[in-house]
Amino acid sequence: MFSYIIRRLISAVILLLIVSAVTFGIFFLLPKLAGQSTDQLAQQYIGKAPTPADIAAVKKNLGLDKPVYEQYWDFLKGIFVGVDYKFGPEAAKCHVPCFGYSFKTHIEVWPEIQSRLPVTLSLAAGAAVLWVVSGVATGVLSALRPGSLFDRMAMGVALAGVSLPMFFTGALALALFTYQWPIFERSDYVPLMEDPFLWARTLVLPWVTLAFLYSALYARLTRAGMLETLSEDYIRTARAKGLRERKVVVRHGLRAALTPIITVFGMDLGLLLGGALITEQVFSLKGVGAFAVEAINANDLPNILGVTLLAAFFIVLCNLVVDVLYASVDPRVRLS
Amino acid sequence: MTDLDKSGAAPGEPTPAAARPPSAFLEVRDLKVHFPTDDGIVKSVDGLTFSLEKGKTLGIVGESGSGKSVTSLAVMGLHRASRQQRSKVSMSGEIWLDGKELVSADPDEVRRLRGREMAMIFQDPLSALHPYYTVGQQIVEAYRVHHDVDKKTARRRAIEMLDRVGIPQPDKRVDDHPHQFSGGMRQRAMIAMALVNNPELLIADEPTTALDVTVQAQILDLIRDLQKEFGSAVIIITHDLGVVAELADDLLVMYGGRCVERGPAERVFYAPQHPYTWGLLGSMPRIDRDQTDRLIPVKGSPPSLINVPSGCAFNPRCPYADVPKDNATRTVRPELRQVDGGHYSACHMSQEERERIWTEEIAPKL
């Protein structure tokens, strides 16, 4: 088991390196291929009417005149040890982990992302708990009585959940529960540590809307998985032992049906942690997703690069956790 | 096997059949298990009667789809494959286990008997064991369902059982998962799990079919030894006559959900009285037979359990269907008739005709 974790960890690190190289390549190589000179690139760091001397200074400071692989190396180094920039007379320190400076705001990328992380984390974690619990429970109940009224209604709702886009359900939820009946008033994000009640209150609507979208998928996945495992031979064995039906279903059926759900959950959570773009927009939450949208709108390459790498990091991390979880759940995985 | 066919009107017993107390340890009377489907009613078991004493072994033989597995599942109360089918399946008749009637019993009562008084071994131990739990965990679970003991005690019991069924280093292997066991060891573990509560009835559904030939004999020996030790009644279900040849005291041959022949094993083997049994014997490879002889398969395929052929269900495949001149084979369902002693056969041919065909045509080819 230990060697398995080490192996997964190493491959996760390699994967992250590849992702960072590709992303870096895309963001710094593509402008070049598109015919943008390094002068023009450097110009973006400076305000209006740059002098050639300014441009040359920026190029030198940011290493834009170096070959790409050296720039990538500097970029990597910056993440782990930080970078000292010299802008004109005053020196600027970009702290670890340094993802560079924004073109537009001239603020370090990482602290900006960092300040937005709690919003996204709160949103994703709360919604995840909701959708896993409700989705799996609905799926199990449906699988126990396939074709029943409950099953058909649940699957109908699930179909709606999968089909209705976030910007519709989110807007609808807002219209109903914020404007029509102001149960959940619009307010800015309140940190959990500051006021847990207010924190939850501002997030209830986004949580529920997001969970509605996902739990639909999980209900269907769980139902299909349960129907399959409940027809397995080992379920018959469990019944032959004289176990109560509930134990047969939960301990023997659900346990086996959960493994593929863990995989999907890792993916979904990883994606969501990298920023729930639409949800954050709809509910005006200033999370990582909103940051990404702002960065893209502003064509702010360093910010886009930073947020992309963060998203990739979360996906790789979640998959690593899934792999380890999977191995602890299904002992056969450890062999391969 | 007791003489049940006369029992419906047994003299000196005015009580109706349903209330009549059983005389044998396990008595199955006129068992019917029907599954309604979109295409019609599947009559998996359609009027089956047999009995079994403690310490005895009954072999139920038949092709796939003859109803033998459904019979065993019905005895265990496991014929409802899922909750979905629970409302659909219909079962009638009587199953008496040690004085308790199971067909009309509360499902929860049957559940409490399962694993404790009656246990089952399945065909493919790899799929019958849960892949995520260790062998020990699964045996411990089986024990603790019926015994209020702590995990340590149950674990000791599991190790003891693994040792008993011949697993080397049971104290180590108890923590292995099923995929770390070989096929034969898995079936041994399965047997250990079935016997952990000292059940009085053990049902083995094709216990050796999924195993290597070299392991099959070991498993059968093990079942026989354990039966002697525990004194339980054993039902072995198989399509392979070789499996039950040495093990079974009685044989029951099933065809199309019904019994076509039953009796003491040596009688059914050496003086079979039904053309289907002849077919089974002819299709069985034998080491003592001339290698150049070909196996004689039973022609055709098993009957549909929805539209069972009228008359004798075997008539479309029976080479002797035209021997009785009154065309009864195609119109009248043959009842079980006594051949001698406890030996019964459901065939329209007269006993003389059958004896003649067996001695002149069938036996010399075997």
- Domains of chain A listed by start with CATH number: 17-94 (no CATH), 111-335 (1.10.3720.10)
Q: Which residue of A has its CA nearest to B110?
A: A242
Let me know: does A66 contact A72? Beta carbons within 8 Å.
no
pLDDT of res. B3: 43
Q: Chain B contact for A123, CB < 8 A?
A: no
Torsion angle of alpha carbons B131, B132, B136, B137, nearest 10°?
A: -130
Sign of the CA dihedral B167, B169, B173, B179? negative
Residues of chain A contacting B124 with CB distance shorter than 8 Å? 233
pLDDT of res. B10: 40
Contacts 24+ apart (CB under 8 A), A191-200: A191/A118, A192/A118, A192/A122, A199/A122, A200/A126
Q: Minimal CA–CA distance to B294: which of B282, B281, B278, B280?
A: B282
Q: Which of B83, B116, B196 to mutate to test the interface with A (most CBs of A within 10 A)?
A: B83
Kindly report the backbone phi and psi dihedral angles of residue B262, in degrees, each rounded to the nearest multiple of 5, phi listed first. Answer: -150, 160
Let me know: does B207 contact B189? Beta carbons within 8 Å.
no
With tokens 């019964």, the residue in question is: B344
Shortest Cα distance from A162 to chain B (angstroms)? 26
Mean pLDDT of A242-267: 91
Decide if A145 and B116 are in contact by the 8 Å CB cutoff: no
Mean pLDDT of A60-77: 82
pLDDT of res. B11: 42
pLDDT of res. A330: 81
Residues of chain A contacting B78 with CB distance shorter than 8 Å? 236, 239-240
Residues of chain B contacting A256 with CB distance shorter than 8 Å? 130-132
Q: Which of B87, B130, B134 to mutate to test the interface with A (most CBs of A within 10 A)?
A: B130
Report residue A149's pLDDT band, with 50, 70 and 90 as the boundaries: very high
Q: Minimal CA–CA distance to A124: which of A31, A224, A14, A211?
A: A211
Q: Chain B contact for A79, CB < 8 A?
A: no
pLDDT of res. B118: 95
**In angstroms, what CA-CA distances link A29 with A25, A41, A293, A307, B45?**
5, 11, 22, 18, 74
pLDDT of res. B1: 44
pLDDT per residue of chain B (366 residues) written in tens, 0 to 9: 444 444 444 444 444 455 566 778 999 999 999 988 888 888 999 999 999 999 999 999 988 888 898 999 999 998 875 444 445 788 999 999 998 999 999 999 999 999 999 999 998 899 999 999 999 999 999 999 999 999 999 999 999 999 999 999 999 999 999 999 999 999 999 999 999 999 999 999 999 888 888 888 888 999 999 998 888 999 999 988 888 888 899 999 999 999 999 999 999 988 999 999 998 888 877 666 665 666 777 888 888 888 888 889 998 898 888 888 888 888 888 999 998 888 999 999 988 889 999 988 888 877
Decide if A233 and B146 are in contact by the 8 Å CB cutoff: no
pLDDT of res. B8: 41
pTM: 0.81
> CA-CA distance, A287 to A302, in Å (whole number)?
17
> CA-CA distance, B167 to A245, in Å (whole number)?
31
> What are A87's two structure tokens?
């802008």
pLDDT of res. B113: 94
pLDDT of res. B83: 45
pLDDT of res. B2: 44
